[in-house]
Amino acid sequence: MFHWVSAAITLPTIAFSGQIFFRNAWSALRAGRLNMDVPISLAILLAVVTSLWETSLSGEHAYFDAAIALTFFLLTGRYLDHRTRSIARSAAEELAALEVPRAWRLTDDGEEQVSVADLRIGDLLRVRPGGRMPVDGEIAEGQSELDRSLLTGETVPVYAAPGTLVSAGEVNLTGPLLVRASAVGRETSLHRMADLVAVAESGRANYTPLADKAAKLYAPGVHILSALAFVGWYLYTQDFRVALNIAAAVLIITCPCALGLAVPAVTTAASGRLFRKGLLIKDATALERLSEIDTVVFDKTGTLTAGAPEVTNVEDFTRADLEIALALAEGSSHPLSVALTTALRARGLAPAPVTGITEVPGHGTQGLWQGRRVRLGRAAWVGGGSSDLTATWLAVGDGPAQVFTFADSLRDGAEETVSALIKAGKRVILISGDSTAAVEALARRLGIPQWIAEALPQDKAARIKALTDEGARVLMVGDGLNDTAALAGAHVSISPATALDAARVASDIVLLGNSLAPLPEALTLSKKATRRIRENFAIATWYNVIAVPLAIAGLCSPLIAALAMSASSITVSLNALRLR
């Protein structure tokens, strides 16, 4: 009677809890292949069938507890695995989501708001300040400045006037523009970038984790051993019950619980440690891939640098000039004006009494101070000279123009991280869409021997592919829309938490804090984690080498087999905890 009560408890439990294994195994068999869930499902089902057989014949031994124990340990491993799975969103979909849904089109009767799907080449569109470009095209009327940082990585807004080419996704900052469409829909640069990302994502999906490699070898061997044990004992004893019990014991004792825990137990332990250091592991295979890295490619703006300009030469100006500059800077939302305002306010300065302040789109701000015209803005408009550095110019009356220079501050830990990577023998490369002068200056400051400037998104992705084709295992670290294809195409990728959604989704690891310092430790820990995974595989293998002959010899009942399997699973889990 007790066996029937056990059956009444076990059958619904197995039917519900084992669904994930049964469905995956059935899908694999229908596709004509084997995966780890095939021997798992057979072991659970055979333990249940054997127990029902024994119970129906009023036998002394039933092994429902073995079936429950199997399912418990296997679900534990599956739970740990799912904790470290990546968010199932596509970076290509995130890029497509950046497309402007509607646009203002000029007609003979005025203007109308239409869906971007209804736009055609040659349409004349109005893009207001703060708006994102809905198409690729050419400016037909108006002057402004464009924020291209998401697409190209350029830190400074670009002056735009009639004849300037624009791309979908760029942001109009200061003045209204009329844009003549030259590419719409899937032909825009934004959609072409999404296509690049989709291709890169499909390439990464071809990576085969260690556990899957082990399953290809393990599953057929388990089935063959169990079948041979059944046939051999049936021929020897002519007793179906004895042969079935021994076959069940072999299948249970070889059930890949330890193998199923080998990777997720280590990944969970390592992910927890890295999370405490400020790194979020999104993909279960990221640590395996990170341990293989020999080349690290960095983006510049927002990755190695903080992405916010800082004034470098305030001391070169008189207090009066600084107060005039502050008054003019507060009249603009330009990133350099905002940075200048922040720096001067931090020094306790107050704006000079400048009147009639106006912003001239694409040029700068101007006003009157003590009857003299004062200007803050671009060199050509103010009357300044040329500068290789990021700069804005100040002119007071008829006096000579003076230059404020800016530099992008380094992200915390950037110098130490690059130095540690180079000392560890990694090849470090800087790729940026920023100007040659800015990229070269940063590369020299950090000691990076290889750098590429003015790189378009497709250039970055092509460089990653070229490195991969040369046999390199590339870690890409970037944060911008222009980095997304490169992030998706790299062997493994990291983005800061401040990165654009598309970049974060394309990456395998997210840097939660402001410092790059956890990166070298992540590389070191990934190698330790991979060693622990291989150790766990070795533990599981030696367990089978010892236990399987005992089961085949008939020296292990299914219950003892389940206990032995549990012991190996616990050993694997304890070994993984050494990473904490």
Q: What is the DSSP string of 461-472?
A: HHHHHHHHHTT-
Instruction: From 364, 358, 304, select the one nearest 334 (Cα to Cα).
Output: 364
List the structure tokens of 437. Answer: 């002068």
Residue 132 per-residue DSSP state = B
Evaluate whether 565 touches 255 at the Cβ level (below 8 Å): yes
Q: Which residues contact 155 (CB under 8 A, 6 or more apart)?
A: 149, 301, 307, 309, 335, 390, 408, 434, 438
Q: In terms of DSSP H, where are the helices of 57-172?
A: 64-83, 91-96, 149-152
Q: What is the pLDDT of residue 463?
A: 94
Q: How far is CA 93 from CA 194, 210, 272, 376, 479, in A?
A: 7, 29, 29, 41, 17
Whole-number Å distance between alpha carbons of 481 and 505: 11
Spell out the per-residue pLDDT of the chain, length 580, in tens.
Answer: 666 887 788 888 888 888 888 888 888 888 887 677 777 787 778 778 877 877 777 766 676 777 787 788 778 766 765 654 443 344 455 556 667 888 999 988 888 999 888 999 999 999 998 888 999 999 999 988 888 766 665 666 888 889 999 988 888 888 899 999 999 988 887 777 666 555 544 544 444 455 556 656 666 677 678 788 888 888 888 888 788 778 877 777 776 666 667 777 787 788 878 887 888 887 768 888 899 999 999 998 888 988 778 888 899 999 999 999 999 999 887 888 888 999 999 899 999 999 999 988 778 899 999 989 999 998 888 888 777 677 889 999 888 899 998 877 888 899 999 999 999 999 999 998 877 888 888 899 999 999 999 888 888 989 999 999 999 999 999 887 778 888 888 999 998 877 766 677 778 888 877 889 899 989 999 998 888 888 888 887 787 788 788 878 877 766 676 677 777 777 887 887 777 6
For residue 488, give the nearest of 504, 472, 467 by alpha carbon.
504
Contact 134, 171 (CB under 8 A): no
What 3-state class would DSSP assign to 171?
strand
> 181, 125 in Cβ contact below 8 A?
yes
Q: Quick one: pLDDT at residue 85?
A: 46
Q: SS3 of 166, please?
A: strand
Can you tell me the distance from the alpha carbon of 571 to that of 44, in angstroms, rounded to the nearest whole number?
Answer: 21
| CA-only gyration radius of the chain, Å | 32
Token representation of residue 387: 């500068």
The pair of three-digit structure tokens given for residue 43, joined into one six-digit string: 């072991």
What was the pLDDT predicted at 449?
93
Residues marked active site are found at: 299
- State the pLDDT at residue 179: 94
Q: Could you please report the per-residue DSSP string of 279-312?
A: EEE-STTHHHHHTT--EEEE-IIIIIEEEEEEES
User: For residue 427, with 0-12 CB atoms within 10 Å meaning exposed, 13-18 middle and 19 or more buried, which class applies?
Assistant: middle
Q: Tokens at residue 155, please?
A: 């830190």
Domains, the chain: 2-88+210-268+527-579 (no CATH), 100-187 (2.70.150.10), 272-306+410-525 (3.40.50.1000), 308-409 (3.40.1110.10)
What confidence score (pLDDT) does residue 93 get? 57
pLDDT of residue 137: 93
**Contact at 8 Å (CB) between 339 and 311?**
yes
H or E element that contains 376 = strand 372-377
* pTM flag (> 0.85): no
Contacts of 28 (CB under 8 A, 6+ apart): 34, 35, 37, 38
Structure-token pair, residue 259? 């193998």
Cα separation, 543 vs 521, whole angstroms: 33
Geometric angle at alpha carbon 238, from 235 and 244, rounded to 5°: 85
> Which run of H or E residues covers position 565?
helix 558-576
C-alpha 459/C-alpha 486 separation (Å) is 9
Closest CA to 229 of 547, 560, 552, 546: 552
Task: Write out the two tokens for 337.
Answer: 């004006």
pLDDT of residue 217: 63
Report how far residue 376's alpha carbon sits from residue 58's, in angstroms, rounded to the nearest whole number. 96
CB 111 within 8 A of CB 104: yes
CB 303 within 8 A of CB 479: yes
**Amino acid 446: pLDDT:** 93
Q: What is the per-residue pLDDT for 59?
A: 66
Query: CA angle 542-243-19, nearest 5°?
Result: 70
CB 359 within 8 A of CB 337: no
Cβ–Cβ < 8 Å for 496, 479? yes
